[in-house]
Amino acid sequence: MIVFFRKPVLTVLTAFALALSLSLSCGDTETASLSTIDTIAPAASHAILPHPAFAQVPGDVSISDVAEKCINSVVNISSTRVVRTSDDQNLSPFLSDPFLQRFFGPDFQQQIPQDRLEQSLGSGVIISADGIIVTNNHVVENADELRVTLFDNREFDAEIIGTDPPTDIAVIKLKGDDLTGLEPLPLGNSDNLRLGDVVLAIGNPFGLGHTVTMGIVSALGRSSVGIEDYENFIQTDAAINPGNSGGALINLRGELVGVNTAIASQTGGYQGVGFAIPSTMADEIAQKLITDGEIIRGWLGVGIQDITADIADAMGLSSTDGVLVSDVFEDGPAGEAGLEPGDIIVRVNGTAVTRVNQLQNMIAMLGADTDASLTILRDNRERTITVTLGTREEQPQVAQRQSGRRGTTPDDLTVGALNNQIRSQYNIPGNINGVIITDLASNGPAARAGLMQGDVIREVNRQPVNSVQTFTSLYNDATGNVLLYVYRQGNSIFLVVRK
């Protein structure tokens, strides 16, 4: 099982009246499961090969010079917070053992101090000469005290300027009068990164202090990783370990191209898959935090989903580029501007849109009360709609789909009419029309496409369904990929059944 590690190195100092045990943890983590992977057998040859990154280094570039130039711009961050024992979910279960209570008395647990200090270590990047530092939100989250150590071993207290948990970006500022000699790291354009570009990661792994590792850009635009609400990660094989969080990912021009934030690992240590927030996103978030202290994201008011090959075929599209609007929220900005379910957003303010996470990020960063020009496809014709964005108050509405497989058995799909009893039982609003699925075979094409009992089928191949007879006629007459518009538990989604 691969898990994601994004916590800084963590040390817990707990005072007990009677020292039963002392545990030091260098990897207290929050995890999110991704998937299992196959073990890769070692190569038959045992010849020592050079690191692939060396082949990409121009002859006139010295990695040593780049590293020495940039390391002064990366800082170590120590955050301390007071945790109440009653609120801590990680206390040892031995403390409630009946034997200990019998041996030490019934008031044993009450004798344990109710407060403890929790200290975590991470990294940050100096972005201005007056002591502004960008780091990860999870490095400074809930901190009561922040202590920053520079490369020259000077130490400063710091204060939080602003945080943005949805992107895991935070901005802090050094306190003190003597802030001379700070070296901001030049900002690079992460949009110009290419697969195979050599990058260096600088940070504070395991609390060891300023450390430089090297690798390449392994992938770009990683999303749906499940770490943050807004994801567009740079993936790299530069060694990143707990404590590197908030540190710099730099190119060979000595420019900041990413903020290291997480690793995918089966062990908690480096296994060749690290993730960094692109510098363009990090800088935009940081500047808004510095100016406003918070991020007010734009909100379109739609449910959206990526376009699969099956959906493209069913809708007669020439490609899978664009984002499909699966729902339009009542009284939302998109609805007021005339956007409809089934529209395909292909450009925002002239910039091409190819996937859901890209659209989410673009709309969010435009901000509220901003006009966005959307180029959409409706009935395979382009048109432009201007939407005045609202304020995002909920999690992004992304329609989830299950992958379908080609079925070889009958559909065995049974539907019924919507009546007051059914609407009450399944909490279906009065403005939702169609037929409800009352039964379906678990191994049929409909189930394999992701349909479930209780779903309301609103359209078949973009034709509205208002009765069982209408559905039966449209569905039986359809061949190949059948596009269904489905309502489920407050959201709508497009699914394709392969008949």
Amino acid letter for position 119: Q
Report residue 94 as tokens: 């031995």
Give the CA-trace dihedral at 377, 382, 383, 387, to 10 degrees.
40
Distance CA 178, CA 398 (A): 48
Q: Which of 218, 245, 279, 326 is catalytic?
A: 245
Three-class HEC string of 251-299:
CCCCCEEEEEEEEEECCCCCCCCEEEEEHHHHHHHHHHHHHHCCCCCEE
Q: Which of 138, 190, 265, 492 is catalytic?
A: 138
* Annotation says 138 is catalytic: yes
Distance CA 224, CA 59 (A): 38
Distance CA 90, CA 49 (A): 44
The pair phi, psi for residue 154, each rounded to 5°, is -70, 145
Distance CA 5, CA 246 (A): 13
* Closest by Cα among 342, 354, 351, 340 to 375: 351
Distance CA 412, CA 183 (A): 68
CB burial string 24-35: b at 16+ within 10 A, e below: eebbbbeeeebe
Distance CA 498, CA 34 (A): 28
Instruction: With H, G, I as helix, E, B as strand and everything else as coil, classify residue 192.
Output: helix
* Annotation says 245 is catalytic: yes
Task: Give the DSSP letter of residue 187.
Answer: B
Task: Name the residues annotated as catalytic.
Answer: 138, 168, 245
